[in-house]
Amino acid sequence: MTDAQALLQRAVALRDEQDTAGALEAILGAAKLAPGDANVALGVAQVSFEAGLPAADLYARAAELAPHRIDLQRSRATALGAEGRQGEGEALLENLLTANPAWIDGHRCLCAMRATAGEADFARSFALAVAREPENFGLRMAWFHVLATAKAWEAASGVIMAAETALGERQASLLGKLFIASESGERTDDPALFDGVDHVQDVGLDLARVRHFLRGGQVERARDVCSRHMGTPSMRAFWPYLSLAWRLLGDRRADWLDGGMRHVRSFDLDFTPEELAELAAMLRGLHTMQQPYHEQSVRGGTQTERPLLLRIDPVIARARSKIEGAVRAYIDELPEPDPAHPLLAAPRGRFLFAGSWSVRLRPAGFHAVHTHPMGWISSALYVTVPAMDALGAPPAGRLQFGAPPPELGLPLEPYGEVMPRPGRLALFPSTMWHGTVPFDDGERMTIAFDVVPHPKV
């Protein structure tokens, strides 16, 4: 093994441990020894991006050394957008899609860039590609999924109709039509909507089934669909819905699962007003998008993209240290282990951040009710909050737990709430429904993250 390869492996190991500074030092050392190595160049770009450093030109260098890897150009476009070079990123993807019209990941990236810039016709690249490859059914369905995620029901339905007119009905288009019929409200009350696809086993379809059954009062059917995922990795997505079914059915296991507010904790971290002001100023500089991604819970605000708590910035490092202390206390104070419980079964040694970001809400902004199926423990650290006289009437601005998504129309009330204040960190199970109430005026800015057990515990 060469010295460059050894440093590359060291950088990978340190990155896996979320030691960004150490990983950056190692990968830059490897680059000095092997400037023409494509894997090393990619490592420099990836670690630099995660560290919060300029990375677009580094991805360009990696792409030069590995011209067959079109995915590196996608990463380059994302980095260009993160660096305020939105137009360059869009132009790069447009040119690549002209040469590779079936590149679905490129379309998704370009659609996301345009959507977060506030463009109404964010998915137009798909139309050009389908005109060139009209027989590509997968391309048409990818277009549908982008529109459906944005809840652009009429446009999504039009894409499916055109696909079936050109290529005939297929299972994917049938499922897409059922999804639209249920989620758009067109056939919410049809109890037999999904009966014709009982033979299809698919996690995404099962989630659509569960939501439809809950909306239509078929609570037992919803419970049974959730239960058949018990013991599988996909169960993380179904625990929240099983909680709703159990609550509606009066099943005592709902309390075993959620425990009301039992597993929700608040920590007032020891930030000084000056430290919070410095943190807020730094975070504002990262909120460069105009709109959130369609798949996010943010309404009336923006969310940052890079892994926030991995940045090599002393202001972030200070916040991360305080956060890690509170997470450690939360884990150490959990009740006795329970091998069947999604929160209490996990090992309680070291932990990692599965994702970290900042959200900045404008007046009337809020978070739609949601959960975090990729996490174990989730969070909200309040950096700025509106003044009390700007919030509006209670419970304006508060973080609520246990209320179901309103579009399901279920008669369930929240378990409780957390009142935001600067420096307050709320920690809670990732499987628990949570959302916020809109506020009248001011700014609410948070740091949020998901925690997972370290895989090497």
DSSP string, 167-192: H---HHHHHHHHHHHHHTSTTTT-TT
Tell me the pLDDT tens digit for each residue of 343-381.
Answer: 999 999 999 999 999 999 999 999 999 999 999 999 999
Here the tokens at position 275 are: 């430290």
Task: Identify the pLDDT of residue 274.
Answer: 98
Q: What is the pLDDT of residues 303-324, one digit of tens each?
A: 998 899 999 999 999 999 999 9
Q: How far is it, in rounded angstroms, from Cα 441 to Cα 392?
A: 8
Helices (H), 192-252: 203-215, 219-227, 235-249
Cβ atoms of 384 and 422 within 8 Å: the answer is yes
Residue 457 has pLDDT above 70, yes or no: no
Three-class HEC string of 295-354 = CCCEEEEEECCCCHHHCCCHHHHHHHHHHHHHHHHHHHCCCCCCCCCCCCCCCCCCEEEE
What mean pLDDT comes out for the span 59-70? Answer: 96
pLDDT at position 293: 81
Q: b/e per residue, 19-53, with b = 16+ CB within 10 A?
A: ebebbbebbbbbbeebeebbbbbbbbbbbbbbbbb
pLDDT (0 to 100) of residue 291: 85
Closest residue by Cα to residue 351 from 335, 332, 373, 336 = 332
- Per the DSSP assignment, residues forming a β-bridge with 378 are 428, 450
Mean pLDDT of the chain: 96
Span 40-55, pLDDT tens digits: 999 999 999 999 999 9
| pLDDT tens digits, 183-206 | 998 888 899 999 999 999 999 999
Mean pLDDT of 210-219: 97
CA pair distance 14, 21, nearest whole angstrom? 9
Q: What percent of the chain has a predicted confidence (pLDDT) above 90?
A: 93
CATH tag, 265-453:
2.60.120.620
Q: Residue 178: what are its φ and ψ, rounded to 5°?
A: -65, -40
Give tens-digit pLDDT for 388-403.
988 999 999 999 999 9
Domains of the chain, by residue range, sit at 188-256, 265-453
The yes-or-no verdict on residue 122 having pLDDT over 80 is: yes
Res. 288 pLDDT band, cuts 50 70 90: confident
At 357, list the tokens.
């970001």
Element (H, E) at 122: none
Residue length of the chain:
457
pLDDT category at 426 given cuts 50, 70, 90 is very high
Average pLDDT value for residue range 405-415: 97
Among the listed residues 251, 379, 261, 370, the one whose alpha carbon sits nearest the alpha carbon of residue 327: 379
Token code pair at residue 446: 């948070």
| Range 117-140 average pLDDT | 96
User: Which residues lie closer than 8 Å to 352 by C-beta, 6 or more apart?
Assistant: 18, 451, 452, 453, 454, 455
pLDDT of residue 151: 95
